[in-house]
Every structure is written in structure tokens, then in C-alpha cells.
Amino acid sequence: MPLKTREGHNLGNFVIIDKKPRTLTEEKKEIFKELASLVMNQMDLRLDTRLAVKNQHNLMNITAHDLKNPLSIMPLLADMILMNKNEPDAIEKASVQIREAGRRMTETITHLLETTREEAGKNQLRLKKVDFDVLVKGVVLSNNVLAHKKKQKIGVVVEKCVVFADHQRLTEIIDNLINNAIKYSPLGKRIHVTLKRKKDEAYFEVKDEGPGLTKDDMKNLFRRFTSLSAQPTGGENSTGLGLSIVKDLVDAHNGKIFVNSEGKGKGASFAVVLPLSEGQ
């Protein structure tokens, strides 16, 4: 009896062999078919289990990575409040950023809980009109405390852009790219963040003055758990997941991502291009 997957792929045959000739009755043929079906069901069940476990591991890795950025910001903001006890404006500014970091963490955890109830292995997008320029300014603001710690400056030039996107997922894309620029840039360098309209597309770019990318880096850039030649410059940790997450989310939004580096020591730029919302 042929062993076929649910998709119709033939894996081989289920065979019973005896040392002497026998005649199969119709009843025994039906039993034979049932045995072959049981074997295939068990194989499908094992495959489904392995895929489910793999998807859960991927989901947990991505969630842990997404929580790491806002968590790393909160102790720095708390220190800022302690150092500026007599400056209400500084305390208010830091408190707003702590609240924003907490909100992002809550959204990430909520998304994790919702995704476990949905189809595994796919990016579930909740699309709506998003003010891309407002989102970029907010992400830059939340990352300023990390840049300030390394005496870095983030220059921001944005144009009004509205895109049809998942607000949380788009925030993750921008946050990962800006956070990476801070993480891998040396102390005192500048990071350039721009958002422009180009015909019917929104063009977002993060450019740094960091160590740049080698040819080998460019080949492996979006692979999971890949270590690149550059190392964090302030003792930060790297999971090797950030860019693979960015690539998956950009693809899910029908966008494009471009990377450019003239080589080691010459910085790098990451650009994300998304279609503008209708009417823009």
C-alpha cells in the first residue's frame, strides 16, 4: 500500500512479506489498508508535533528579543530620575519614556498570548493606517537614553508618511534597526535616521558610522543566530535574531529591505521601503 502525505507526496510503500504464498481476501485487503493508514497517521502526527515545537521555540526567541530592548532602557531611565530628583522636567521626561517602554512590553506579551492561539509559524498582522513619521520619532525618543549613555547623537529628518501596517510590528522593525546602530557604533559617533516619500513608497533609512559589514557578513545578514564580524561596543549582548526578525516582518508587509556598506570600518545603512497608504 502506498504511504502518501496529506499533500499527496508518496513516501514509499507499506509492505507485508511472508515466506509462503497466501491469498488476500477482500476483508484482509481492507485490514491492510487500515494498517497503512494508521502508519501514515502516526508519521503525520510526529511531523506536526515537531513543527509545533519548532514554531513555539521560534516564537519564544523572538518575544524574548523584543522584550530585551525596552527592558534595557528602563534601568537607565530610573537612574536618570535618581540623578535629577530636583528637576521636575527631567523626571517627567524619563517617566514618559518608562511608560512607553512598559506599554511596548505589554503589547509584546499580549501578541505572544494571541499568537499561541492562532496558526503557528506565520506573522499575524493587524493592519491599519499608521503615521509612519510619528512612529519613527517615538522610537528614536525611546532609544535616546541608550545613545546618550554612549555619547552618541541621533539625527532625525522625517517627512509625513502614512502606511497601511501593523503598528506594533512596524515599531519592532524600526526599533531593531535603530537599536542595532546604537549597539554597534563606537562612542561619540552619529546615527542618521531619515524617512522620505518616494513616489508611492515610504523610504526609511538608518545610517551609522560603525564598523561596517564584510562580504561574509552580507551573505549571512538575515540568518537566525548568526554572529557577524562586528561586536557591540558598549558591552551589550547580541542574540543574532534582530535582523532575521526585521526581514521576516518587512516581507510580511510586502516591503523591501536594502543594506549597504562599503566595507569594514566604513559604517552601514539599512533601508526599509513600504508602500504608502492609498490617498497619500
**Domains of the chain with CATH codes:** 2-52 (no CATH), 126-280 (3.30.565.10)
Torsion region of 94: left, alpha or beta (phi above 0 gives left; psi -120 to 50 gives alpha): alpha
**Amino acid 145: pLDDT:** 87
Residues 229, 52: Cα–Cα separation, whole Å:
33
* DSSP string across 55-113: HHHHHHHHHHHHHHHHHHHHHHHHHHHHHTTT-HHHHHHHHHHHHHHHHHHHHHHHHHH
| 4 vs 108, higher pLDDT | 4
- The tens digit of pLDDT for each residue in 142-198 reads 899 889 989 999 999 999 999 999 998 999 899 999 999 999 999 999 999 999 999
Answer whether residue 117 shows pLDDT above 70.
Answer: no
Residue 217 has pLDDT above 60, yes or no: yes
Predicted TM-score of the model (pTM): 0.63
pLDDT at 77: 86
Q: Is the pLDDT of residue 116 over 80?
A: no
Question: Which pLDDT band holds residue 58 (cuts at 50, 70, 90)?
Answer: confident
Q: What is the DSSP letter of 223?
A: S
Between strands 153-158 and 190-198, the pairing is parallel
Mean pLDDT of the chain: 86
Is the pLDDT at 119 greater than 60, yes or no? no
Do residues 163 and 125 touch, judged by C-beta distance below 8 A? no
Average the pLDDT over 27-47 and give the result: 86
